[in-house]
Amino acid sequence: MKVVIVGGVAGGATAAARIRRLDEQAEIVVFERSGYISYANCGLPYYIGDVITDSDELTLQTPESFFRRFRIQMKVHHEVTAIHPEKKTVSVRNLLTGAEFEERYDKLVLSPGARPTQPKLPGIGSEKLFTLRTVEDTLRIKDYINKNQPKSAVLAGGGFIGLELAENLRSLGMEVTIVQRPKQLMNPFDPDMAALIHSEMRKHGVKLALGYTVEGFKEGSDGVDVLLKDAAPLHADMVILAIGVTPETTLAREAGLELGIKGSILVNDRMETSVPDIYAAGDAVQVKHYVTGEPALISLAGPANKQGRIIADNICGGDSRYQGSQGSSVVKIFDMTAATTGLNEGNARKAGLDVDTVILSPMSHAGYYPGGRVMTMKVIFEKETYRLLGAQIVGYEGVDKRIDVLATAIHAGLKATRLKDLDLAYAPPYSSAKDPVNMAGFMIDNIARGTLKQWHLADAEKLPRDGSVTLLDTRTVGEYRRGHIDGFTNIPVDELRDRLSELEAGKPVYVICQSGLRSYIASRILEGHGFEAYNFSGGFRFYDAVMNDRCLIESATLCGMDR
């Protein structure tokens, strides 16, 4: 059996190695357009910022080491230019010599990945404008920085690559501005959770120009102007486009393979394309979203590697199936960590689901053990069924382990109420006896039992100020004086029982505190004395962070580079 693989990164390299482990006799040839195989896309920004100082560390294998271990031909600088399914051959061009030839296959694996999205804008070919996808891209950016010592950069795009680049360029002492059309960074997060990410970026000197459309670039001797719609240009010494990726599916389209959303390659759960004996994996393929079951494009390394393994199993006579992508991801943002899995609230509602959320701010570990930091968790679930749909966490220590627990719970089909039952490891330096994941489960279980009724950020502006409801802030007097929502009366929770006479019977009471805990206690006191009480989800700390972020985005001008 002869297997030809197009693309030697992630899915392609994984498929190649797995096929060899399952079949010692198979002939395996991998064609990779770049000069590198099996490299760590996610590590590229950290080489630019000198966190990784040796470029050899970016590649997990070389063609030589791959051949020594697996006897697999890794042909770099070779571009597959056409697929001929009827002949079971591919056309290949040697990019170093220009020589062209055809290669026969019994099984063909497509793992071409995705290319950085490059809109057709004026000035897109500027030598001071870069994209970041391959090792060569990384070396090109690093070489430009070393030779020209730029003092400023504009990053067009605020996704994973944009944020990681911003941090690493700041570590080199550069002024950094992120500009993009959406009014938030990191679209997998809901806007309220993204507000916490924005705050961390601003804290470290990254300027945000959110809600602006890039219309082109104009290069000059002193740098590049980023031309914006209805706004003054942004000027910088260099520009990096990080506005997303587009599936690289030219070969598949020209060969007549069936395509899916945004031109991606359509595959079944065995990763088989519409043409017999041709498989596909990675960023180029359409997948099923694990939560909704709907078609999706999810460009992450984990799914690509799993798909490569599944392809290898099936080529070698097995029957492995890909169950779908959940979108679990984590990103370092200076001192902070942000992570997400499953659906965010916005996408859940777009999918037609009737959802509710809980927002909590637990400590990363036991409060009495030094060094604990607050994290903010948002858990999304379906009303009535309590199906767990997704989660987002922004914090410091322990974020990654909690998101992995929640991702596992979603994959296992646990109801959100069952989070309270998970038996999770505890020691004071690592967690609390009531782990943050358990705490989310307790809250959702209270909702299911009717013990907890909530009001949310979206309700804040709708709350009547005509006296028909009671608005109650249960923080201390000092906390209240430092900032509160207009119209809310202050009665500290520890004084509430003695001051119930100040509240008018028969009126619903909307309660808030700093994090949501004291206001929950207050709501139970009120319910116990015949009031109907609603607790604010997230607390004033969360409300204040989100509202301050909205004000900065809406009212600030580009003069301060932070709209």
Q: Cα(288)–Cα(294) distance, rounded to whole angstroms?
A: 5
Longest dimension (CA), the chain: 90
Pairing of strands 238-241, 129-131: parallel
Lookup result for tokens 């600088």: 77
From residue 342, give the alpha-carbon distance in Å to each of 54, 200, 247, 346, 380.
35, 24, 22, 12, 9
Cβ 102 vs Cβ 91: under 8 Å: yes
Spatial neighbors of 221 by CB under 8 A, at least 6 apart, are none
Query: Is 42 a known active-site residue?
Result: yes
Burial (CB count <10 Å: 0-12, 13-18, 19+), residue 243? buried
Spatial neighbors of 228 by CB under 8 A, at least 6 apart, are 179, 209, 212, 213, 214, 215, 234, 558
The type of residue at 103 is E
Concatenate the DSSP letters of all residues of 438-489 into one string.
HHHHHHHHHHHHTS--EE-GGGGGGS--SSSSEEEE-S-HHHHHH---TTPE
Pairing of strands 533-536, 214-220: unpaired
CA torsion through residues 488, 491, 493, 496, sign? negative
Least Cα distance to 390 among 289, 265, 525 occurs for 289
The type of residue at 430 is Y
Mutual angle of helices 539-555 and 191-203, in 10-degree steps: 70
Burial (CB count <10 Å: 0-12, 13-18, 19+), residue 469? middle
Question: 304: left (phi > 0), else alpha (psi -120 to 50), else beta?
Answer: alpha
Q: Cα(35)–Cα(74) distance, rounded to whole angstroms?
A: 10
From residue 220, give the alpha-carbon distance in Å to each of 74, 129, 152, 225, 234.
42, 12, 14, 8, 13
The type of residue at 214 is V
Q: Cα(513)–Cα(493) distance, rounded to whole angstroms?
A: 9
Just list the catalytic residues: 42
